[in-house]
Amino acid sequence: MARKASTKLARLIKTGLLVLFIVAASVGATLYYSWQQDSPPSWLQWSEKGNPAAAAEADGAPAPIAAKPIFAPLDPFTVTLSENGRSRILYVGITLRVQDDGSRAMLLEYMPMVRDRVLKILAEQQPSHIQTPEGRQALVQQLTAGLKEQYPPNPAQPRINDVLFTAFVIQ
């Protein structure tokens, strides 16, 4: 009977050590790969003053970009374009990647002005130009610049990180 109990105890100890070894290896691998990155993960970033994100905000520096992306989808746009006397239809789906929830809320609040600006920029395009990768990149830059401007009477500007095309059709 005592032999059975010691065998069970030995098996329990071996199992416990194996689990402990697996957990230690997992933690070690996570830390190793985290330090191989350009910067350590946010849960390891602590300065002498405390949290570096809070220290950056206290210094007046802009808030760091959120870990999870914040998107502001716009309803699709359909625009008639003219080129060489020929009418073409442009159908575009756009989603904006913004830096913070305040920017997304501002864009939603001023949505009629946002859509107006996008429609004006899209209507100025030449179909042959925006069908090229360079033309689409130029369109992204125009849209970003146009949408980052103030929305009167609000003096603030939305922080737009990127303009993403979710649909892009020219007929």
Can you say whether the dihedral through the CA atoms of 85, 86, 91, 96 is positive or negative? negative
pTM of the shown model: 0.60
Site of tokens 């570096």: 52
> pLDDT-based confidence at 93, cuts 50/70/90?
very high
- 62 token code pair: 């802009």
| Co-location of 113 and 163 in the same domain | yes
| Co-location of 38 and 115 in the same domain | no
Count of domains for the chain? 2
Residue 151 covered by a domain? yes
Which residue range is the domain that position 127 belongs to? 70-170
What DSSP state is assigned to residue 77? E
| Co-location of 86 and 153 in the same domain | yes
| Co-location of 77 and 118 in the same domain | yes
| Co-location of 150 and 89 in the same domain | yes
132-153 mean pLDDT = 93
Q: Which residues contact 24 (CB under 8 A, 6 or more apart)?
A: none
Amino acid code (one letter) for 138: A
Amino acid code (one letter) for 115: R
pLDDT digits (tens, 9 = 90+) for 26-69: 777 666 666 665 555 554 554 444 545 554 555 556 656 557 89
Distance of alpha carbon 43 from alpha carbon 30, whole angstroms: 12
| Co-location of 150 and 95 in the same domain | yes
pLDDT digits (tens, 9 = 90+) for 146-157: 999 998 898 889
